[in-house]
Amino acid sequence: MPTLLSINVSSGGIPKTPTPSCAVSFKGLAGDGRNHEKHYKLERAVSLIDTEILEQLKTEGYNVPAGAVGENLTVENLDVQSLQLGDRLTFSGGVVIELAEVRKPCFVLDPLGVSLKKDIVGRCGYLARVITEGTLKSGESIVVQPVTP
């Protein structure tokens, strides 16, 4: 079953720090830095990646625990890269997000490895807009509602 493994926030930049729960509004996660122009759009409110990608990167020699590559939500048992723009993720606590944009590597990844920005291309997860506000808690289950053509 797809699960929310970690919720990650920072006052700005990376790494983001895991937190057990967090309020979610249309603007994003409470306490997460939004001090850069590219983060002001509502369709960029939340970023997510799966642990399977992080595990791949670890086998390639990168130290990337949850939050290290700047993601807000680290999920497991959900092949994020197989999802489509417009798919909705409903968390068991009631929060709903909609995948709005393929995520590109964060420009501040250099401290994690000079080649990481290149090596992570195509496996950065997604940026999403918040459809239903609420509170997220680590461990929540996730249901994917595929976009209808």
In CATH, the number for domain 3-145 is: 2.40.33.20
Q: Does residue 37 surpass a pLDDT of 80?
A: no
58-81 average pLDDT score: 91
Domain limits, the chain: 3-145
Q: What is the pLDDT of residues 98-107, one digit of tens each?
A: 999 998 877 6
Higher pLDDT, 3 or 11: 3
Longest alpha-carbon distance in the chain: 41
Q: What is the pTM of this model?
A: 0.90
Q: Does residue 116 surpass a pLDDT of 90?
A: no
Q: In what order do the strands lie in the sheet with 21-25?
A: 28-29, 21-25, 134-137
Determine contact, residues 113/2, Cβ cutoff 8 Å: no
| Whole-number pLDDT of residue 142 | 98
Three-class DSSP category at 126: strand
